Structure 1
């Protein structure tokens, strides 16, 4: 019997996790036994060409995907999943697979063109407020509104991607891989929501929380995001202690956040008494969450990937083949974010 020595069990596990399939589900779909699948995944034996075809068909991948070298592993604990203990194993491992495939695609791109080098410090010793101020100083932002965050983060080496639709319930998360920071956003975010999610994950990356998903880590990242988007000195100078709803809305528009976020920032800086904070929230009908309802605002568009893909195509490099091997198939490469646009699967042409 002909065997396929290039087959890697890690690729089979990766594809199965990405497709959110159990061993039993893959066995039914491929008409192979779970015993055989376990042996394939643990490299105890190789599939025959016929079995490889069955596996690739059941997983909706090309045979070449299963024969490619395994990408570098990303431990789930290295990802800032919001509530890892509440996520099902299927959701968690699917998100890990998305991250690993994305990292592999970026690594391939970096062998052929220059991408901005990471310029994101790690300051676990800083408190969130000072870390946000220090990062603004490091990036020479001053106290001015940041504007869209996606171009700013991309220019400083942060790779930003939109999650596929079937991973949307995982929520935003981030990770560092060999020193390069990655942020993954769920689809269907408005401009303000995308900005605040990006700022939140920026806090996770800068503060280097040792317990991602823990309550203290979440609170620190929320505080960092608020301080980064609304610098303390700028908020004080705006004199919003007795502001009308219209002035609060104007300030929120200036900083590109929700009105609820402005109120929380004023309260955190002790510029708004507790009773006034609660009554204003109730009067505006806003939720007391940094990710509450948001009105129209600046969209978050990636400027890096379209240019990178265009450059690769102009150079005649096989971006389609790379996407096929790193993103399961050509119709589903990782998407870089375009806020407020329905998240239909994108092709590498975008």
Structure 2
């Protein structure tokens, strides 16, 4: 009789399989050359069957994690993960993003043992009310209150990702290999900190701004929404997040004053100032009642006819900034000899170095590079200066301006 591995956690196997986009237990079994029934039992918490040590090592190698990965509890929560779950989105893509979010939460929790991340500074804008009671004017007011609380003024917004990190939100960016998912937001069940994962696919700065503001809105408005309500009220929740994100980027007190004669040319000009896409501006003008619905539809048709749905002018004018908090924290840990790179991989992180590098925004191969040693040059005091400085005389240039 083969003896399994004590402490094996089936949910971790499911998580790793989904993080590798392996669509089913049967697909994993084929990759291992094993029975589908066997791998299914490993993911079933009620079966009591687990892989033995040798098989666990094979499993870890196939999924590119350390064997210890399957012995640590997962970072799962009863709170929902906020993502734009579209009917056309593959279940495999949705599961991949949720698994990556769990890994991001685990990484930031580990880093938090050594580095004090910024405290979470998200004000209670609901004041005990339910998000279901919010009206459009309430959301507009919340956007202005957030700007005042974070001292952002009422002009064009700076880099939203930097703002999110400053107020204690952990942000990461990874390629999602699909245009159906732009980002997701979830609160960690361990440290009660919001985490946001943004896509890098077909990215531009205006799109990054809106995606980040959308996920920021989820963190502000929907942190207490239970899973069953999220599924039932998805449409309302997404509409609220988009409205708050738009209001945050284009405040009702200032943005409309820049809009004189709405047209694509004018909105393109405003894009340079507000760093928001033309498409998002059309929606914002319609939401504020500045343009009627029939005119917004005309603008959308003209927008599509120009081919801007595939990319707007000026999209690549501004560099897309990357999150810095996790990257800088790991560099700080290693450079100050708190833990070495090898030590971190051997004892703290159970996922691969490539996964940590991707989620933390580190250069590929960062863990394999030797840490640079900083050498301070000793100042020589026994050498006499060879150049003697004397007082200088200031000579004025002659005034050659024409005389009247």
* TM-score bracket for the superposition, by shorter chain length: 0.7 to 0.9
Q: 2:193 aligns with which of 180, 186, 193?
A: 180
Structure with bigger gyration radius: 2
User: Which residue matches 1:205?
Assistant: 219
Conservation of the 8 A alpha-carbon contact between 2:111 and 2:326: no
Q: 1:248 aligns with which of 267, 288, 293?
A: 267
Conservation of the 8 A alpha-carbon contact between 2:75 and 2:188: no
CA drift at 1:201: 1.3
Alignment TM-score, normalising by the size of structure 1:
0.84
Greater relative CO (CA pairs within 8 A, separation 6+) = 1
1:35 aligns with 2:72: no
Name which of structure 1's ranges 257-266 and 321-330 shifts more when overlaid on structure 2: 321-330
User: Which residue matches 2:209?
Assistant: 195
RMSD of Structure 2 on Structure 1 (CA) = 3.3
User: Which residue matches 2:334?
Assistant: 313
Conservation of the 8 A alpha-carbon contact between 1:163 and 1:334: no
User: Which residue matches 1:231?
Assistant: 251
Local SS of the residue matching 1:301: coil
Local SS of the residue matching 2:115: coil
The 1-side partners of 2:146 and 2:205 are apart by: 22
Aligned residues: 343
The 2-side partners of 1:167 and 1:228 are apart by: 26
Change (3 A) 1:227 1:221: same
Change (3 A) 1:256 1:349: farther
Q: 2:75 aligns with which of 65, 72, 94?
A: 72
Local SS of the residue matching 1:332: helix
CA drift at 1:193: 0.6
The 1-side partners of 2:179 and 2:146 are apart by: 29
Local SS of the residue matching 2:21: coil
For structure 2, list consecutive stretches of 5 or more residues without a partner in the other structure.
370-404
The 2-side partners of 1:234 and 1:190 are apart by: 24
CA drift at 1:152: 0.8
1:264 aligns with 2:283: yes
Conservation of the 8 A alpha-carbon contact between 1:165 and 1:344: no
The 2-side partners of 1:288 and 1:235 are apart by: 26
User: Which residue matches 2:402?
Assistant: none
The 2-side partners of 1:215 and 1:187 are apart by: 25
Alignment TM-score, normalising by the size of structure 2:
0.74
Detail structure 1 runs of 4+ shifted over 6 Å in the superposition.
286-292, 343-346
Conservation of the 8 A alpha-carbon contact between 2:271 and 2:277: yes
Q: Summarize deviations over 1:191-232 as a string: whole Å, max 9, x none.
A: 111110011111222221642672222222111111100111
The 2-side partners of 1:197 and 1:186 are apart by: 9
Name which of structure 1's ranges 326-335 and 136-145 shifts more when overlaid on structure 2: 326-335
Q: 2:159 aligns with which of 148, 164, 167?
A: 148
